[in-house]
Amino acid sequence: MAEKKTPMQEFTKGILRENPVLRLVLGTCPTLATTTSLESAIGMGLSAAIVLVCSNIVISALRKVIPQKVRIPCYIVVIAGFVTVVQMLVKAFLPALDEQLGVYLPLIVVNCIILGRAEAFAGKNRVLVSALDGLGMGVGFTAALIVMGGVRELLGSGTLLGFSVLPDSIAPMTIFVLAPGGFFVFGMLMACANRLAERKGKPKATLGCMGCPLAETCSSAEKAACANLKEGK
C-alpha cells in the first residue's frame, strides 16, 4: 500500500524526487524543442504549470461527476480549455514568446505530464492535494526546462535572456542550440538526477512500471495497458 504523504510532501515530490522530466522521463519532446533559449524555456514551463494546476483542480472537483468510461475525453476537454486561455493570453501580451514557442504551446493539450497527472492523481484525490501535486509538478517541469535552457543558451549562443555573458575571447558552441546538444544536456541532467537519487536510496529513472513512483496505486487494468503499450500492442 502506498505511503500517505503530507500536503507539503505532495508539493515537493515533483521538484526532484519525482521530477516529471528527469525522474519520470515525461514531456521529453517539448523539453528538447523549447529549451534552445532561457526565455522560451521559462515561457513553456510557466504555461504548462498554469494549465497543470488549473486542470488538476477542475478534474479533482469533478471526479465524482465524470463517468468512468469517458473520463479521458473529459480530461482532454478540460485541459484543452485551459490551454486555449493560456495561448490567447500569450498571443495578446507576449507575441514574441508565442512566436518562439510556435506549435508547442497548443500542443500542451497532449502533454503526457498533464494528462498523466489528471489520470493518475487528480481523478482520484481531493482538490487541495491535487492542486499541490499540480503545482509541484509544474515547478519541477519549469525548473528542469530553465536549467536546460540556461545551459544551452549560455554554451550555444554565449547569452542569457538575450544579454551577452561570455567574453569575446570564448566562442560559443553552436551545437548546444541544435538537437544533438539538447540530447547531450538532457542526458547529463538525467545522470545528475539519478546520482542524487541513488545517494538517497531511490531507484534510477527507468521507463515502464518498474520505474514509476505511482506503480503501487495503479489498478491491474492500468498496469496491463502500460505493458501492452510498451510491447507495441
Tell me whether residue 24 is in a domain.
yes
Least confident of 4-18, 40-54, 126-140: 4-18
43: in domain: yes
Flag whether 37 is in a domain: yes
Asked, for residue 141, whether it belongs to a domain, the answer is: yes
Start-to-end CA span in the chain (Å): 29
Whether residue 233 is contained in a domain is answered as no
In the chain, the number of structural domains is 1
Q: Distance (Å, rounded) from C-alpha 130 to C-alpha 153?
A: 34
Q: Does 228 score more than 70 pLDDT? A: no
pLDDT tens sequence across 44-55: 999 999 999 999
For the CA atoms of 42, 164, 32, 202, the dihedral, rounded to the nearest 10 degrees, stands at: -70
* Domain hosting residue 160, numbered range: 7-164+172-206
Tell me, yes or no, whether 82 lies in a domain.
yes
In the predicted model, is pLDDT for residue 170 greater than 80?
A: yes
Distance (Å, whole) CA 209 – CA 203: 12
Residue at grid coordinates 504548462: 48
pLDDT given at position 205:
62
- pTM for this structure? 0.85
Residue 190, CB-side half-sphere exposure with 13 Å CA sphere? 20
- In the predicted model, is pLDDT for residue 117 greater than 60? yes
Is there a domain that residue 232 lies in?
no
- Tell me how far the alpha carbon of residue 184 is from its chain's centroid: 19
What is the per-residue pLDDT for 121? Answer: 92
Check residue 163 and give left, alpha or beta (phi > 0: left; psi -120 to 50: alpha).
beta
* Of residues 30, 32, 42, 11, the one with CA closest to residue 189: 32
Least confident residue range of 3-12, 106-115, 133-142: 3-12
- Average pLDDT over the chain reads 86
Which DSSP letter does residue 164 get?
Answer: E
Alpha helices in 94-120 (DSSP H): 95-101, 112-117
Phi and psi, residue 164, nearest 5°:
-65, 130
Q: Nearest-CA neighbor of 111 among 135, 143, 147, 75? A: 75
CA 27 to chain centre: 5
Residue 226: inside a domain, yes or no? no
